[in-house]
């Protein structure tokens, strides 16, 4: 089976081998401070909903995963839903991500993970948030994506928000030039294959000033991560997931709570 399609590819022993490297990055490169891990239920699956920053190096994601494994062990399963564009071509990277517990973002893999008793991690903002400008670093940017709300309602699981501060300083994003490129294409510029929908302009390692989503080496900025109090909705089930107004209300509740916590995290630091 192709990488990203099966939850069976996750390898706890493989993950455990990387713990010493993650620990070095955690302690000395990113100098992570963290709090709120008591909000994760010990014996219940949850939907982890996170903000993220820092481009394709995913620094806050890896530091969150290190903390998860450090506290609960690599045998306690959590699967990260990753954008379908990541899995278009099978490679050493996709095989690596699969063994780490990443799966293709779709309802079937998410359901399979929950059915197995595991928790699921999702980044609703995708590339729009991952590459949001430095000036918007304090903004929760989920751009109206509500699939994670429907997933939580159908699977009857609480949402545990994850937020972070500092990872936006590992890659300085200046803006998005996708609209400019679209206008230039009307005047004859060749079309560019752009599956993520944005063309970020940023300053980072090793490319310097760059346009486009390329793997990067993060700057050694200090990161603060936080696990927030679980959000439990009033109603669950298929009927609730099909109620558009109710889904909208749940979405607004999650975004508002996460924005409040992110504001507090920035104030504290």
Could you report the per-residue pLDDT of 19-50, keeping only the tens digit for each?
999 999 999 999 999 999 999 998 899 999 99
Strand-pair partners of 50: 162
> What is the dihedral sign for C-alpha 204, 69, 228, 113?
positive
Which of 195 and 78 is assigned the larger pLDDT?
A: 78
What pLDDT, on a 0 to 100 scale, did the predictor assign at position 181?
Answer: 65
pTM, two decimals, is 0.92
Q: Does domain 7-172+219-268 have CATH number 3.90.75.20?
A: no
Mean pLDDT of the chain: 90
Question: Residue 1: pLDDT band by 50, 70, 90 thresholds?
Answer: low
Statement: residue 205 has pLDDT above 70: yes
């Amino acid at each position: 089976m192709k990488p990203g399609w099966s939850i069976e590819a996750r390898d706890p022993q493989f993950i455990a081998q990387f713990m010493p490297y993650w620990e070095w990055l955690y302690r000395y490169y990113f100098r992570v401070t963290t709090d709120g891990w008591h909000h994760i239920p010990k014996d219940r699956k949850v939907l982890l909903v996170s903000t993220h920053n820092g481009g394709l190096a995913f620094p806050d994601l890896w530091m969150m995963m290190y903390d998860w494994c450090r506290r609960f062990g690599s045998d306690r399963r959590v699967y990260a839903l990753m954008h379908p564009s990541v899995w278009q071509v099978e490679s050493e990277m996709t095989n690596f991500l699969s063994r780490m517990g990443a799966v293709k973002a779709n309802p079937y893999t998410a359901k399979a993970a929950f059915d197995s008793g595991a928790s699921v991690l999702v980044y609703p903002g995708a590339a729009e948030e991952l590459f949001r400008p430095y000036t918007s670093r304090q903004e929760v940017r989920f751009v109206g994506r509500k699939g994670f709300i429907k997933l939580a309602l159908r699977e009857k699981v609480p949402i545990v928000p994850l937020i972070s501060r500092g990872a936006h300083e590992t890659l300085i994003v200046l803006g998005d030039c996708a609209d400019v490129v679209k206008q230039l294409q009307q005047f004859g510029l060749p079309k560019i294959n752009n599956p993520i929908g944005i063309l970020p302009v940023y300053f980072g390692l090793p490319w310097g000033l760059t346009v486009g989503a390329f793997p990067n080496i993060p700057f050694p900025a200090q990161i603060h991560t936080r696990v927030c109090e679980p959000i439990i909705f009033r109603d669950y089930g298929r009927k609730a997931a099909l109620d558009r107004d109710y889904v909208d209300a749940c979405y607004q509740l999650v975004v508002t709570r996460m924005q409040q916590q992110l504001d507090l995290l920035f104030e504290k630091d």
